[in-house]
Structure formats: structure tokens, C-alpha cells
Amino acid sequence: MNWNKRLLDTPIIGDITKKIVSAKASREAHNISDHFTQFLQPCVAVSQTLKEEAFKIRHNVYCEELAFEEVRDNGQETDEFDHQSMFSLIKHKPSGTFTSCVRLVTSSGPDELLPIEKYCMGSITNEELSPKRFNRNEIAEISRLAVKSDFRRRKADNYKGSGTGVISEITYSETELRCFPFIAIGLYMAAATMSMNTGIRHVYVMMEPRLARSMKFIGINFQQLGPPVDYHGLRAPYYINPEIFMKNLSPGFKSLFSIIEEDICSQLNQLDLA
């Protein structure tokens, strides 16, 4: 066990260390939010063309890189849940390249299960927060989050499933580099905005426990609903709702969220008017 891990696991000292790390991340987020819109733009997939961009990114990460799914002839990874989903991407403005994507799987009735219900329902041991306890039109699942390998630092990409990382240092400016580790966070914020502005009250996600722990440093406190299971790597079921999300988000990241929320909401409004 390294010294950082020992410090975090030590009573009192661990709590202080976590607060210091969280405060540092919050200060950095204040700085990053100032530059975020200069280099990055969250996009709601309001057209089939944008949806296909998301499918291509998923194919790059889930099929070609991680081999979680079979390679498709058309270079797009799709599944049975896409027809009941909303999609968001993050674009690198200077190059026009889409860096990453995420989807929010919704349900209009009992015939439209969430992925977690179909494949991992047995892993949910907290019955009070089980999706079966809530109205179908108020539940959703964040899934298929993927960040292209070009936008991750390869030396940190040494474990299977590292589809959320940081950016390559060679191609981009120093200011851009300071923004890009926030791509995955930006995707979760985009998904949160899509859910909160479409009446979703209960959100689920299957994620690696270490990612959930990392999210706590910035105040996104996913509640674990059961033990980890083998599902594209070791993952556990988690739950969050709008109240939990907004209550615990650190000040610096609230600033970043406000920027992303404004952008996503304007696009959702355009979708409603179309």
C-alpha cells in the first residue's frame, strides 16, 4: 500500500487529507471552468448524425480497444437500449473532434428495462432504492460512457476498462491539458443535466468502485446499492438523485456544472422546439 493510500485510510488524518484533496480539486475547477468553453463543448445528440458520432466513439473504445463487444462492420457500436436513450458528447472545439460520449437510458414502461435491470438486478441489495420501487418515467441509467484513447495519457492507461482518463500531452497546449482531465466529469454533468431537465428523479449507474471514490472528492456522491460484480470488469451498482447531486457538489465544480448546464439546456430547448 502506498503512502497516499495509507493517509487516506488513516482515521482523522485520512479525513483531513481527503478535505485537502477535495479543496484543491475545487480550486482547480474554478480555473478550469474559465477555460472549459474555450476548448470544449458539450453537445446533445439532437440528430442521427450526432448519434452516429457517439456510436463511433463507443466502437473505438468498447470494441476496438477494450474488446468488450465484437467489432462491427459499420464501425458503430449499438445495442437494444439505444432507442430509449438520450446521448451527449463533448467536442474539442479547435479540431472539431468529438472526444467522448455518454447516454442516459430512460424507460416509458415495464417493457423498457434499464441495462442494470436486465443484466445486474441481482447485484442490487438495497431494496429501498431499487428501480422497481419508482415510477418508470422517473428512472434512468447513465451508461456507455467512453473517452477516445487519443484524449487520454497512455502511461495512465494501463488497466482494462480505462475508457475515462486524461489527455495526451503531446498534441495539445498547456491550457488545454488542464481542461481535458475533466472530460469524464463533464460527461456525468451533461447526463445529470439531461436527467434533471426531463423529469428523471432516480439515476443508476454500474461503475468501478474506485471511480465512485474519485467522484466523492468533487462532491458527486453516488450511493452504492450492492457489492461489486464482474460486469465488463469489477463494477458495482450506484444510485444518485438531483438532491444528492446538487447538495454535495463542491463550489468549484458547481461553477463548471453551471456552464455545462446552460449549454445543454439551450440545446434541449431547441430539441423541444423542433
- 209-245 pLDDT, tens digit per residue, is 988 887 887 788 999 999 999 988 889 999 999 999 9
Percent of the chain with pLDDT over 70: 75
Instruction: Please tell me what DSSP assigns to residue 139.
Output: E
The answer for residues whose C-beta is within 8 angstroms of residue 204's C-beta and 6 or more apart is 114, 116, 131, 139, 140, 141, 142, 225, 237, 238, 239
Q: What are the cell numbers at 95? A: 479540431
Residue 77 has pLDDT above 80, yes or no: yes
**Helix residue ranges, H only, the chain:** 3-9, 13-39, 48-58, 115-119, 174-179, 183-196, 209-216, 242-248, 251-273
Location of C-alpha cell 481527503: 18
Q: Which whole number is the average pLDDT over 4-11?
A: 45
Q: What is the pTM of this model?
A: 0.81
**Going by DSSP bridges, is the β-strand pair 202-207/85-92 parallel, antiparallel, or unpaired?**
unpaired
Location of C-alpha cell 488542464: 178
Q: Which residue has the higher pLDDT, 161 or 6?
A: 6
Distance CA 193, CA 216 (A): 19
Measure CA of the first residue to CA of the last residue in the chain; give whole Å: 55
Residue 248 has pLDDT above 50, yes or no: yes
Q: What are the cell numbers at 122? A: 441481482
Instruction: Determine the pLDDT at residue 251.
Output: 78
Q: Which domains does the chain have, with CATH numbers?
A: 35-273 (3.40.630.30)
Q: Contact at 8 Å (CB) between 239 and 222? A: yes
Residue 177 has pLDDT above 50, yes or no: no
Distance CA 179, CA 265 (A): 22
Distance CA 149, CA 45 (A): 21
Q: Which whole number is the average pLDDT over 85-91?
A: 96
Instruction: Determine the pLDDT at residue 39.
Output: 83
Instruction: Please tell me what DSSP assigns to residue 55.
Output: H
Instruction: Determine the pLDDT at residue 212.
Output: 87
Residue 153 has pLDDT above 90, yes or no: no
Residue 167 has pLDDT above 80, yes or no: no
Among residues 146, 237, 241, which one has the least CA distance to residue 192?
241
Residue 125 has pLDDT above 60, yes or no: yes
As a whole number, the mean pLDDT across the chain is: 82
Instruction: Determine the pLDDT at residue 32.
Output: 66
